[in-house]
Chain A
Amino acid sequence: MVLTADILGMLAFTLVAFWGVASWALVRTMRQESRKIELLEGQDRIDTYSPTALAELREWIQNNPDDPLVDDARRRHNECVETLEGTDRRFYDWSDEEVERLERI
Chain B
Amino acid sequence: MADAKTARAEWGTRFGFLMAMIGAMVGAGNIWRFPYVMGNNGGGAFVLAFLTLLFVLAVPGLMAEVALGRYTKKGIIGAFRDVLGRGGLVGLGVIVLLVNVALMSYYSPLIGWTLYYAVHSLLFTFTAPGFEAQTFLDSFFANPALLIGLHTVVMASVAGVLLLGIRRGVERLVVYAVPALVIALAIMTVRGLTLPGASEGIAFAFDVQWEFLLQGSTWIAALGQALFSTGLGWGIGLTVGSYLREYDDVPLGGGVFTAIGESSIAILAALAIFPVVFAVGVEPDAGAGLAFVSLVQVFPEIPLGGLVAILFFLGFFLATFTSGVVITEVSVTTLSEETGLSRTQTVLGVCGAIWLLGIPSAYSPAILDYLDFVFGNWGLPLATLAIIGVIGWVLGPERLRLLAVNRNAGVHVGKWWDPVIKYVIPSVMIFIMAYYAWEDFGSAEMIGGMLVIVLLPIVGYGVMSVLEGRGGDPGTTDVTGGDD
- The chain A residues found within 8 Å of chain B, CB to CB, are 1-3, 6-7, 9-11, 13-15, 17-19, 21-22, 25-26, 28-30, 32-33, 36, 40, 46, 48-50, 52-53, 56-57, 60, 67-69, 72-73, 76
* A11 touching B202, Cβ below 8 Å: yes
Query: Inside 8 A of B479's CB, which chain A residues have their CB?
Result: 68-69
Q: How far is the CB of B347 from chain A (nearest CB, A)?
A: 29
Q: Could you say which of A29, A50, A73 contacts B257, with CB atoms under 8 Å apart?
A: A29
B51 at the interface (CB under 8 A from A): yes
Give the distance in Å from the alpha carbon of A14 to the alpha carbon of B47 in the complex.
7
Query: Inside 8 A of A1's CB, which chain B residues have their CB?
Result: 199-200, 203
Interface size, B (range): 35 or more
Q: How far is the CB of B381 from chain A (nearest CB, A)?
A: 24
Give the distance in Å from the alpha carbon of A4 to the alpha carbon of B440 in the complex.
39
Give the distance in Å from the alpha carbon of A25 to the alpha carbon of B409 in the complex.
12
Query: Inside 8 A of B480's CB, which chain A residues have their CB?
Result: 68
Give the distance in Å from the alpha carbon of A42 to the alpha carbon of B260 in the complex.
34
Chain B's closest residue to A12 (CB) is: B206
B285 at the interface (CB under 8 A from A): no
B342 at the interface (CB under 8 A from A): no
B344 at the interface (CB under 8 A from A): no
Q: Is the interface of A mostly helix, strand, loop or mixed?
A: helix
Give the distance in Å from the alpha carbon of A7 to the alpha carbon of B203 in the complex.
6
Query: Inside 8 A of A67's CB, which chain B residues have their CB?
Result: 399, 482
Chain B's closest residue to A50 (CB) is: B412
Q: Is the interface of B mostly helix, strand, loop or mixed?
A: helix
Q: How far is the CB of B49 from chain A (nearest CB, A)?
A: 12
* B43 touching A10, Cβ below 8 Å: yes
A-B contact pairs, 18 of them (CB 8 A): A1-B199, A1-B203, A7-B44, A7-B207, A14-B44, A14-B267, A17-B47, A29-B14, A30-B14, A33-B14, A49-B406, A50-B409, A50-B412, A53-B412, A68-B478, A69-B478, A72-B403, A72-B478
Query: Inside 8 A of A69's CB, which chain B residues have their CB?
Result: 399, 403, 478-479, 482
* A25 touching B263, Cβ below 8 Å: no
* B261 touching A49, Cβ below 8 Å: no
Query: Inside 8 A of A28's CB, which chain B residues have their CB?
Result: 252, 410
Q: How far is the CB of B483 from chain A (nearest CB, A)?
A: 11
A-facing mask of B249-269, CB < 8 A → 1, else 0? 100110011001101100110
* B260 touching A21, Cβ below 8 Å: yes
Interface residues of B in 401-449 (CB under 8 A from A): 402-403, 406-410, 412
Q: Could you say which of B206, B267, B407, B478 contacts A19, with CB atoms under 8 Å apart?
A: B267
Q: Could you say which of A32, A49, A57 has the most chain B C-beta atoms within 10 Å of its C-beta? A: A32
Q: How far is the CB of B306 from chain A (nearest CB, A)?
A: 28
Query: Inside 8 A of B402's CB, which chain A residues have their CB?
Result: 53, 56-57, 60, 73
* A68 touching B481, Cβ below 8 Å: yes
Q: Could you say which of A21, A29, A53, A73 has the most chain B C-beta atoms within 10 Å of its C-beta? A: A29
* B247 touching A36, Cβ below 8 Å: yes
